[in-house]
Structure formats: structure tokens, C-alpha cells
Amino acid sequence: MPAFDLSPADLERYRPDVAEPADFDAFWKRTLGEAAGAGDVLVSADPVDNGLRLTETWDVTFRGFAGDPVRGWFSRPAGVGEPLPAVVEFAGYGRGRGLPHERLTWVNAGYAHLLMDNRGQGDQYGCGGDTPDPHAGAPGGP
């Protein structure tokens, strides 16, 4: 059972005082402008032989911050031609996208599933990540 310092009612009402950096809006305007000028967001989506008969997988790469690549797995039930509802999942810090067969819950439930890496993470459990952080501005895993 999780332990919390506040009751559920107090947690719902909790609004921390968070100071916004003076350059917050300018940073995001500049960052989004750079991303828009970097070309297509989706860099590649390459089919992968995942060794599974019931799941199709693609290795996808998107442009992230500063145009740097961010990796993910796109998986869906094999042989399904019609559009599917989709789940986009960002692996928690400490976990990377791992291997295509590690996260099949959504695909087995009939959804398309995009599992994205977090840059600079993936060293604590699972089979790791595939998106290094070339800027290394904050602590993270390999």
C-alpha cells in the first residue's frame, strides 16, 4: 500500500507553489521553432523481425530536443488491417524501451502501442534504452 503524507481529499486540492523561470516562455518558443525547422518529426519507421507470430513491430525514430533522435517501438496485433485505438507510453525514468517483446500487454489487448524512450535513461531495469542524451545537461543513465 502506498504511503502518502496527505489524505486523498488533501492531495486532490494540493497546488504547490512552483516558480516559473523567467525565460520559460522564450525557451519553449525557441525550442519549438528549432524543431519545426528541423524537417519531418518522424525520421523513420522500419519493420523489425521480432520473432513473434502475433505481433508486428517497427523501430521508430522521432526528432526530439535540438533535432536529436528519440527511439521507440511501434507494435500492433499481426494481420489486423483496420485502424486500431492506440496507446502512447513513455517509459518511466530508469527504464528504456527495452526489446520489442518486453511490453506486449497493450498489443495483446488489441491496441496499437507506441513505447517511447526517455533520453538518457534505461539503466536501472529491463533491457535498457536506446536514446542517449548528447547534451548531458542533467543526471541520467547511460
pTM of the model: 0.68
**Average pLDDT of the chain?**
82
Give the domain extent around 75. 40-116
Calculate the CA 36 to chain-centre distance.
Answer: 20
Helix (H/G/I), strand (E/B), else coil: 125: strand
Helix (H) or strand (E) run with residue 48 in it: strand 42-48
Higher pLDDT, 1 or 78: 78
Q: Based on the structure, what is the number of domains in the chain? A: 1
CA distance 37 to 30: 11
45, part of any domain: yes
Q: What are phi and psi of 15, to 5 degrees?
A: -135, 95
Where residue 120 falls among pLDDT bands split at 50, 70, 90? Answer: low
Q: Which of 80, 79, 40 is nearest to 60 (CA)?
A: 40
24, part of any domain: no
Question: Which of 19-23, 72-76, 135-139 bottoms out in mean pLDDT, i.e. has the lowest?
Answer: 135-139
134, part of any domain: no
